[in-house]
Amino acid sequence: MEEYNPWWLNESDPFYEKWVESKVKWVPSVIGEFSFKPYALHFFIGPRQVGKTTTLKIIIHNLLKTRDPRSIFYYSCDELLDYRELGEVLDNYLSARKEWGVKSSIIFLDEVTFVDEWYRALKSRIDRGLFSKDVIVVTGSASLELVAGKERFPGRRGFGKDIYMMPLSFREYLLNFSKLEVQGAEVDDLNKLMKKMKANTVFSKTINIFFEKYLETGGFPVPIKEYFERGKVTHISYKTYLDWLKADWIKAGKSENYMKEIISYLLEAGTVPVSWHTISKSTSISSPHTVREYIELLENLLVLEVLYWTSPSGQIDYRKAKKIVFIDPFLYQIFSSYTKVEVDEATVVEATIAAHLARVKPIYYWKNKTEVDIVVLDKKPLGFEVKWTRKPKLRRRPIKTYVLDKNQIPVFLATLSVSKYSARG
């Protein structure tokens, strides 16, 4: 246990030291979302390799400045099988801290979602009052399992909340790696967003240069570090992330061959709406139900976003064909290399805009005789039409639609604030 908590022995944490020594690094803005007022049970959710563990180690380093080191407990749960093993880990720490005289702790349980019935280990001990003066942070890459887990803790969350960490948005990327201080606004106030965009157009040249870099690296730490240290993203980055994903697929009991077929089909389809039946007919997977399970797993792992059809009045039809986009440009790079399927840049750009908007609002699409690429549902439907390679055509649509062309897209994303993430309910 002490190997995960070197600060108990007054030793430095190699993981944190590696981050400190890195030439390319940034402090994740999500750190500001955490509160350590007891009692609290936080769920910290994000895709693999997005930097959740790094974030926790930075938080721990900051907490060590004011707390007894033995009151901070970190454990990586990757190798635990079930709730019994997790319960044993927790009991060992609780026994140790009693001997140390520690009354209140901050407990970090990293990557807990693949521990079978993990919630049972926590719930039984919470009900016995063993954590009444503590703050618990539970992290995971499988979002549905973690979010579903909170339903098992009614009235047991205290001051806890759900905290999402996604890959860096383009705006965050720009603020961290360029010298620009671009203005930002949220999509809720479109007029304000347009005014801020207009102000930011004076930096268009630099914004465009960094957008081309963003399309290559995405918002994931490993390729970003490689690019800014070596000038390019290598096969190492692709392999690192793909290995993590394959491990998650296997843990979830899925066939790698089936998964590869589905990903290949999605890349070939681009942003064209598809159905489970169409995918099953175009692959060796005979069951549309099986296709849906694989897509739902990728959605659960925060790898892709499914856009359902909506009417101009905001009525959603879950039976119609769906648009399916990956949530970050780097995923297109990985999967293209993995499947040998070429993906055109226009697809990646539209997916990037959809993924950014999905962090703040539920998103859908509309298609009849004409089409609206992305529809944000709030008080009224608001559409976004993406024209990366073609000149926009003036068309009448039943949904108020803002058309983004190649000159506007980088500035739009540089201006769009996506600090919050709203999971679709």
Omega of the bond leading into 39 within 30 degrees of 0 (cis): yes
Residue 13 resides in a domain: yes
Q: Write the DSSP string, 258-296.
A: HHHHHHHHHHHHTTS-B-HHHHHHHSS---HHHHHHHHH
Number of domains in the chain: 2
Q: How far apart are CA 238 and CA 159, in angstroms?
A: 38
pLDDT > 70: what percent of the chain?
96
What number is the average pLDDT over the span 304-323?
A: 95
Mean residue pLDDT of the chain comes to 92
DSSP-derived secondary structure for 339-396: HT----HHHHHHHHHHHHHHTTS-EEEEESSSEEEEEEESSSEEEEEEESSSPPP---
Domain match, 151 and 221 both? no
At 179 the pLDDT is 85
* Residue 422 maps to a domain: no
Same domain for 142 and 47: yes
CA 116 to chain centre: 22
402 and 317 assigned to the same domain: yes
Phi/psi of residue 15, nearest 5 degrees? -65, -45
pLDDT score recorded for residue 419: 62
CA distance 334 to 341: 11
pLDDT tens per residue across span 323-382: 999 999 999 999 999 999 999 999 999 999 999 999 999 999 999 888 899 999 887 899
- Mark whether 108 and 229 lie in a shared domain: no
DSSP per residue, 331-350: HHHHHHHHHT----HHHHHH
SS3 86: helix
Cβ neighbours around 231 below 10 Å, total: 7
Residue in the structure block whose two tokens are 């070939």: 268
Question: Is the predicted pLDDT of residue 423 greater than 60, yes or no?
Answer: no
Closest CA to 146 of 49, 44, 19: 44
Domain boundary at 113, 135, 164, which?
164
- Distance, CA of 323 to CA of 274 (rounded, Å): 6
List C-alpha distances in Å: 273 to 254, 276, 294, 311, 401. Answer: 24, 10, 17, 15, 19
User: What's the confidence (pLDDT) of residue 420?
Assistant: 47
Answer yes or no: do 151 and 7 share one domain: yes
Please tell me whether residues 326 and 406 are part of one structural domain. Answer: yes
Instruction: Say which CATH number the domain at 84 has.
Output: 3.40.50.300
Say whether both 180 and 148 belong to one domain: no
208 & 248 share domain: yes
Half-sphere exposure (Cβ direction) of 44: Cα atoms closer than 13 Å = 27
Domain co-membership, 158 together with 250: no
Which two structure tokens, joined as six digits, stand for 16?
Answer: 């944190």
- CA gap 211, 76 in Å, rounded: 35
Phi and psi, residue 243, nearest 5°: -60, -40
Quote the CA–CA distance of 389 and 410 in Å, as a whole number. 14
**Higher-confidence position of 407 and 397:** 407
Coil, strand or helix at 34: coil
70 lies in some domain: yes
pLDDT, residue 147, reads 63
Residue 150 pLDDT > 90? no
Q: Which of 130, 164, 198 is the last residue of a domain?
A: 164
Where is the domain boundary, 115, 134, 164?
164
- Domain assignment present for 425: no
Of 21, 37, 114, 131, the residue nearest 76 (C-alpha): 114
Question: Pseudo-torsion of CA 398, 322, 50, 348, nearest 10°?
Answer: -70
Q: Which domain holds residue 73?
A: 2-164
Weakest-pLDDT range from 256-265, 266-275, 413-422: 413-422
Position 424 in a domain: no
Identify the weakest region by mean pLDDT among 212-226, 283-297, 331-345, 407-421.
Answer: 407-421
Query: Do 186 and 242 share a domain, yes or no?
Result: yes
The backbone torsions φ and ψ at residue 168, rounded to the nearest 5 degrees and listed phi first, read -55, 130
Alpha carbon distance 162, 144 (integer Å): 12
Q: Quick one: pLDDT at residue 421?
A: 42
- Asked if residue 373 is part of any domain, the answer here is yes
Chain centroid offset of residue 421 CA: 9
Same domain as 175, residue 37? no
Residue 423 domain flag: no
Rounded to 5 degrees, φ, ψ at 25 are -155, 165
Q: Which pLDDT band, with edges at 50, 70 and 90, does 148 fall under?
A: low
Is 266 domain-assigned?
A: yes
- pLDDT of amino acid 425: 29
* Statement: residue 424 has pLDDT above 60: no
pLDDT of residue 138: 94
- 365-390 burial: b if 16+ Cβ within 10 Å, else e: bbeeeeebbbbbeeeebbbbbbbbee
**231 and 257 assigned to the same domain:** yes
Please tell me the distance from the alpha carbon of residue 113 to that of residue 36, in angstroms, as a whole number.
22
How many beta carbons lie within 10 A of that of residue 318, not counting itself? Answer: 8
Average pLDDT over residues 305-327: 95
